[in-house]
Copies of this chain bind each other. A is one copy, B any other.
Amino acid sequence: MKIARSISEMKALRKQCTGKVGFVPTMGYLHEGHLQLVKNAKMDNPVVVVSIFVNPTQFAPNEDFKAYPRDFERDCELLRGIGTDIIFAPSDSDMYPPGFNTWVNVQGITQYLEGRSRPTHFQGVTTVCNKLFNIVQPDNAYFGQKDAQQALVIQKMVRELNMNLEIVVCPTVREADGLAMSSRNTYLTPQERPTANVLYRSLMLAQDMYARGERDAAKIKSAMTGLTLQVPGASIDYVSISDIDNLTEVDRISGRVLVSLAVRIGKPRLIDNIVLG
Contact = CB atoms under 8 A, between A and B. Distances in A.
29 contacts: A7-B162, A11-B164, A97-B160, A99-B108, A100-B160, A101-B106, A101-B107, A101-B108, A101-B109, A102-B104, A102-B106, A102-B107, A102-B156, A102-B157, A102-B160, A103-B105, A103-B107, A104-B104, A104-B105, A104-B161, A105-B105, A127-B161, A130-B161, A131-B160, A131-B161, A131-B162, A134-B162, A134-B164, A135-B162
Interface in A87-115: 97, 99-109
The 3 closest A-B pairs by CB, nearest first: A102-B160, A134-B162, A101-B107
A84 interface: no
A126 B134 CA distance: 16
B161 A134 contact: yes
Residue of A100, A104, A163 contacting most chain B CB atoms (<10 Å): A104
A126 B104 CA distance: 10
A126 B161 CA distance: 11
Contact-residue size bin, chain A (C-beta under 8 Å from the other chain): 20 to 34
Interface in A129-163: 130-131, 134-135, 137, 156-157, 160-163
A230 to B, nearest CB: 39
Contacts of A106: 101-102
Nearest to A7: B162
A105 B247 CA distance: 24
Contact of A104 (B103, B109, B135, B156): B103
A207 B258 CA distance: 63
Contacts of A11: 162, 164
Contacts of A105: 102-105
Nearest to A90: B162
A97 B103 CA distance: 21
A128 to B, nearest CB: 10
